[in-house]
Amino acid sequence: MRYSKGFIYTLKEEQKEASIASHNLLLRAGFITKLASGIYNYLPTGLRVIKKVSEIVREEMNRAGALEILMATVQPSKLWKESKRWNDYGKELLRIKDRKGNDFVFGPTHEEVVTDIVRKYIKSYKNLPVNLYQIQTKFRDELRPRFGLMRGREFIMKDAYSFDSDEEGMDVSYQKMRTAYYNIFKRCGLSFRSVEADTGSIGGKDSEEFMVLSSTGEDEIVVCDSCEYSSNIESAKSITKNDYIAEEPLKKVATPQKQTIKDVCEFLQKEEQFSAKALLYKNENNEVFCFLIQGDDELNEIKAARATNSVELTMLNDDEIEKAGLLKGYIGPVNFPNKDIKIICDKRLENINSLVVGANEKGYHFTGAKLHRDFEAETKDLRVVKEFEFCPRCKNGKLKKIRGIEVGHIFKLGLKYSQSMKASFLDKNGKAKPYFMGCYGIGIGRTAQAAIEQNHDDKGIVWPISIAPFEIEIVSLDTRSDEIKKYCEELYSDMLNKKLDVLYDDRDERAGIKLNDMDLIGVPIRIVVGKRNFKDSKVEVSDRKTQEKYLIDKDDVVEYVSKIRDELYKNLQI
């Protein structure tokens, strides 16, 4: 492509709306432009990157035996009612009405539609397994769209769905996708790892997320320092050792003006870990729960939602707490005043013999409280795992926290959709059985942007060659020299003939501007043609990543860059 005709418009200024480098660079390099919150247009260079990522995904999905289809984006509510997600999906689901007032959704994911397709056609075990995938635009009305393509409302996803006749088959399909995902992210040049994950509202059994490691990632990952255990913080477990505390009788004590756990414990000279704080939440059905966790712990809202079969939990505000008959700052499980509110304790509280808890009376707390003696409650794992706790798998290693960007997610769905949507086939004995399903997603835009987050410097993007908008860039620094112009034009057409993926900066611009744009856009291999070297029949070839420069004889350049190109691809081989 000729730069002068390429609709490439770079911006000098840092972009205020961008709080992470990759978002800023995508905007500044002219790859995308914002249309509305979380909604972007892809410009020519941006679309080239999207296509390259999509093509790698497509090749690996095909290699794994999946079949590409394209499902409708607008889906009838009927299917969502069948799966019960019409109610369960929450506010991210964009609901729309047609002119007759019928309800539709703009697809945030396609389990319902694909199950509907498969149940229409596949009636016999003989036609299983099957894995159908698509690469398509999704819409999710995210609460906080941010970071450009990382968390958009409209975004491009690859979603695949496997159907098997039994659980073993599902496991095989899942493993095939797992391998395909390793191949995809390796080929995209990413440094990543797979981690155990929560299955969220899609529901199901095993699930793993593929995380691109980056300090700006939205996800927190827990990893063991001595075995392979790694998990999203949302589902991470740990082994903890509580210090021993002797049992004491329950005693009401005055704690005037002390409301926070820290103040109360300081005042009573108790350690925060031997106190329990009560947190009040309501779910989408307005059921209220009181979660009780150790004073120095944090509630894991995902675990709390799972423990209560809730889709969404929101903390009660002061008014709601008062209306529930509770006293903020003094809420505790002993003599709990509201029988309609279920109390759920974190499991660790089972082992603590003596706790400081609120007395549900202004200015008072209890000391010496003990679960199953002074109050009753169900116990569940509710807490956020902390660093340096012990690994739940090897039991010896210490846990460490790192950050990542979730670019892919694979799930074993089991029978969740096939049962609720009555999607079945006839087995060998002629008996109707529901399909065993799996679903597998990759954010195409998020993957492209994650690559930038991991590969950039203060000058711009450093694209891995496999997903760069172009593999090679020719920059002519002296557009007025006929000789140089002739050489560049010939070089460009020679490269096109050789099917090399090349951008030719033929603009009549100052050298400084062209070189800055070259670094910003981040094409991996660059050929700079300038007067000084050209009079010695040389051109400068440089590597975007290392910035190393080599003077190459002008007639050898095609051969030379082809070799570099092949070497760069070698590093990404699977």
For residue 399, CA distances in Å to 226, 236, 242, 300, 348 come to 9, 10, 16, 17, 18
> Binding of ligand ATP at residue 85 (CB under 6 A)?
no
Per rule CB under 6 A, is residue 326 in the interface with ligand ATP? Answer: no
CB 280 within 8 A of CB 326: yes
For ligand ATP, give the closer residue by CB, 158 or 538.
158
- Residue 409 found at the interface with ligand ATP (CB under 6 A): yes
| Interface with ligand ATP, residue 152, by CB under 6 A | yes
In terms of phi and psi (left: phi > 0; alpha: psi -120 to 50; beta: otherwise), the region of 395 is: left
- If binding is defined by CB under 6 A, does position 148 make contact with ligand ATP? no
Collapsing DSSP states into helix, strand and coil, what is residue 84? coil
Site string for ligand ATP, 89-118 (x = CB under 6 A): --------------------x---------
Radius of gyration (C-alpha) of the chain in whole angstroms? 29
The DSSP symbol for 391 reads P
Q: Which of 23, 28, 48, 151 binds ligand ATP (CB under 6 A)?
A: 151
Nearest approach, Cβ of residue 545 and ligand ATP (Å):
25
Whole-angstrom distance, CA of residue 435 vs CA of residue 165: 5
d(CA 247, CA 512): 75
- Which of these segments, 67-75, 319-327, 406-414, 424-432, binds ligand ATP (CB under 6 A)? 406-414
Torsion of CA 186, 190, 196, 197, to 10 degrees: -120
490-512 as b/e: b if 16+ CB within 10 A:
ebbeebeeeebbbbbbbbeeeee
Where would I find the beta strands (DSSP E) of 187-243? Answer: 192-196, 207-213, 219-224, 230-232
What Cα–Cα distance (Å) separates residue 314 from each residue in 198, 301, 317, 524? 19, 9, 9, 47
- Buried/exposed code over 181-203 (b: 16+ C-beta within 10 A; e: otherwise): bbbbbbbbbbebbbbbbbbbebb
Residues 220-279 that bind ligand ATP (CB under 6 A): none
Number of residues that bind ligand ATP (CB under 6 A): 17
Task: Considering only residues 128 through 147, tell me which ones interact with ligand ATP, judged by CB under 6 A.
Answer: 140, 142
* Minimum CB distance to ligand ATP, residue 255 (Å): 40
Length of the chain: 574
Question: Least distance (Å) from ligand ATP to the CB of residue 516?
Answer: 29
Minimum distance from residue 21 beta carbon to ligand ATP (Å): 17
CA dist 330 and 338 (Å) reads 14
**Hey, which residues does 40 pair with through a beta bridge?**
34
Please state the closest distance from residue 132 (CB atom) to ligand ATP, in A.
16
Other residues' Cβ atoms within 10 Å of the Cβ of residue 109: 21
Q: Per CB under 6 A, which of residues 192..221 are in contact with ligand ATP?
A: 200
Task: State which of positions 440-469 bind ligand ATP (CB under 6 A).
Answer: 441-443, 445-446
Options 111, 116, 406, 517; binder of ligand ATP; rule CB under 6 A: 406
Q: Does 23 bind ligand ATP (CB under 6 A)?
A: no
Contacts of residue 218, Cβ cutoff 8 Å, sequence gap at least 6: 147, 150, 151, 403, 405, 406
Interface with ligand ATP, residue 157, by CB under 6 A: yes
The closest of 131, 126, 74 to 413, measured between CA atoms, is: 131
Residue with smaller CB distance to ligand ATP, 107 or 169: 107
Give the binding range for ligand ATP (CB under 6 A) out of 45-53, 254-262, 371-379, 402-410.
Answer: 402-410
Residue with nearest beta carbon to ligand ATP: 443
**Nearest distance from C-beta of residue 207 to ligand ATP, angstroms:** 9
We find the least distance from the C-beta atom of residue 572 to ligand ATP, in angstroms, to be 20
Nearer to ligand ATP, 135 or 157 (CB): 157
Nearer to ligand ATP, 365 or 446 (CB): 446
CB 8 to ligand ATP: min, Å: 24
Name the residue among 496, 540, 441 with its Cα closest to residue 202: 441
Report the residue number, 369 or 439, with the smaller CB distance to ligand ATP: 439
* Residues that bind ligand ATP in the complex, under the rule CB under 6 A: 109, 140, 142, 151-152, 155, 157, 200, 406-409, 441-443, 445-446
